[in-house]
Amino acid sequence: MAKAPALPSGFELPLEPRLPRIGSIDQVAVEERAAALARRSIKREAKRFALDMAVRMMDLTTLEGQDTPGKIAALTSKAIRPDPADASVPSVAAVCVYPNLVPAALERVRGSSVKVASVATAFPSGQSPTQVKVAEVREVVDMGAHEVDMVIDRGAFLSGRYAKVYDEIVQVKDACGEAHLKVILEVGELGTYDNVRRASLLAMAAGADFIKTSTGKLPQAATLPVTLVMLEAIRDVYHETGRKIGMKPAGGIRQAKQAVQYLVQLYETLGAEWLTPDLYRLGASTLLNDVLMQIRKEKTGRYQSPDYFTID
Amino acid sequence: MTDLERKQDRSPVPSGWDYAPAPEARDIVTLEERYGVYVGGEFVEPRSGEHLATVSPSSEEQLAEVAQAGPEDVDLAVGAARDAFENGWSALAPSERAKYLFRIARILQERSREFAVLESLDGGKPIKESRDVDLPLSAAHFFYYAGWADKLEYAFPNRSPRPVGVAGQIIPWNFPLLMLSWKIAPALAAGNTVVLKPAETTPLTALLFADVLRQAELPPGVVNIVTGDGRTGAELVKHPGVDKIAFTGSTEVGKAIQRELAGSGKRLTLELGGKAANIIFDDAALDQAVEGIVNGIYFNQGHVCCAGSRLLVQESIYEPVIEKLKRRLTTLRVGDPLDKNTDVGAINSKQQLEKIEELVASGEEEGAEIYQPPCRLPEKGYWFVPTVFTNVAQSYRIAQEEIFGPVLSVLTFRTPDEAVEKANNTPYGLSAGVWTEKGSRILSMANRLEAGVVWANTYNRFDPTSPFGGYKESGFGREGGLHGLEPYLELDESEVRG
Q: What is the pLDDT of residues B68-83, one digit of tens each?
A: 999 999 999 999 999 9
B240, with CB counted inside 10 A (0-12, 13-18, 19+), is exposed
Residue B422 to residue B414: CA distance in whole angstroms: 11
A118 interface with B at CB cutoff 8 Å: no
Catalytic residue among B271, B450, B479, B486: B271
Distance from CA of A131 to the nearest CA of B (A): 37
What local confidence, expressed as pLDDT, does residue B493 receive? 82
Does B2 have pLDDT greater than 70? no
Average pLDDT rounded to a whole number, residues B42-69: 98
What local confidence, expressed as pLDDT, does residue A282 receive? 97
Q: Is A269 helix (H, G, I), strand (E, B) or coil?
A: helix
Does B401 have pLDDT greater than 90? yes
Confidence of residue B200 (pLDDT cuts 50, 70, 90): very high
Does B458 have pLDDT greater than 90? yes
A1 interface with B at CB cutoff 8 Å: no
What local confidence, expressed as pLDDT, does residue A22 receive? 83
Confidence of residue A312 (pLDDT cuts 50, 70, 90): confident
Confidence of residue B16 (pLDDT cuts 50, 70, 90): confident
Residues of B with CB under 8 A from a CB of A: 1, 4-11, 13-22, 128, 132, 283-289, 291-292, 316-317, 320, 323, 331, 340-341, 437, 457-458
Residue B385 to residue B366: CA distance in whole angstroms: 20
Could you say which DSSP state residue B133 is in? Answer: I
Hey, of B10, B15, B17, which one would you mutate to test binding to chain A, going by the most A CBs within 10 A of its CB? Answer: B17
What local confidence, expressed as pLDDT, does residue A3 receive? 44
CB pair distance less than 8 Å for A23 and B285: yes
CB pair distance less than 8 Å for B323 and A42: no
- Read off the pLDDT of residues B176-199 as tens digits, 9 standing for 90 and up: 999 999 999 999 999 999 999 999
Average pLDDT rounded to a whole number, residues A238-262: 95
Q: What is the mean pLDDT of chain A?
A: 92
Distance from CA of B5 to the nearest CA of A (A): 6
CB pair distance less than 8 Å for B7 and A91: yes
What local confidence, expressed as pLDDT, does residue B14 receive? 53
What local confidence, expressed as pLDDT, does residue A4 receive? 45
CB pair distance less than 8 Å for B17 and A275: yes
Instruction: Please tell me which of the candidates A25, A81, A277 has its beta carbon nearest to residue B10.
Output: A277
Calculate the alpha carbon distances from B173 to B36, B166, B314, B338 in Å. Answer: 19, 23, 34, 18
CB pair distance less than 8 Å for A112 and B7: yes
Quote the percentage of chain A above a pLDDT of 70: 93
In contact, B26 and B117? CB cutoff 8 Å: yes
Calculate the alpha carbon distances from A216 to A249, A250, A260, B349, B446 in Å. Answer: 10, 6, 20, 53, 44
Does A198 have pLDDT greater than 50? yes
CB pair distance less than 8 Å for B8 and A90: yes
What local confidence, expressed as pLDDT, does residue A117 receive? 98
DSSP codes joined into one string, B328-393: HHTT--BS-TTBTT-SB---S-HHHHHHHHHHHHHHHHHTPEEE----PPPSSS-----EEEES--
User: pTM (2 decimals)?
Assistant: 0.93
Distance from CA of B443 to the nearest CA of A (A): 17
What local confidence, expressed as pLDDT, does residue A18 receive? 39
Confidence of residue A299 (pLDDT cuts 50, 70, 90): very high
What local confidence, expressed as pLDDT, does residue B495 receive? 58
The more confident residue out of B5 and B231 is: B231
Does A6 have pLDDT greater than 90? no
Question: Given the DSSP bridges, would you call strands B453-456 and B244-248 parallel, antiparallel or unpaired?
Answer: unpaired
Catalytic residue among A212, A236, A290, A312: A212
Which residue in B has a C-alpha nearest to residue A81's C-alpha?
B5
